[in-house]
Amino acid sequence: EKNAYYEKLQQTLDQIGDKREIRMIGDFNGKTGSKVNNTTIGRYDEDHTNENGKRLIDLCRKGLEEESIRELYQQRLDQQLIEKESENTQQLHGHLKQAMH
């Protein structure tokens, strides 16, 4: 039941896309622990992390990873536009493929 809920939640987030800020409010019964989890969560006074907390962390981390990938792609795109002075999209695509490897 929880798997189905989180799959549906992820599908809904995917449908909304990355053009809007999303704030989720609800009682997820998630304990995220006291460990600072890089950019996903801060430090809280929870003694431990429970399964619901792990699910929330994973959900947030997925969004951050996708954002990081988009940011990396955009930075490389900007760099290629400046350095290569590409004349057209096809040329730029070739330069990007080289930069990504």
pLDDT of residue 60: 77
Contact criterion met (CB below 8 Å) for 47 and 66: no
pLDDT of residue 55: 85
Contact criterion met (CB below 8 Å) for 24 and 6: no
H or E element that contains 80: helix 51-84
37 forms bridges with which residues in the sheet? 41
- Both structure tokens of 20: 């809007």
The list of the chain residues with pLDDT below 70 reads: 32, 34-46, 64-101
Name the residue with tokens 């999209």: 89
pLDDT of residue 101: 47
pTM for the model stands at 0.49
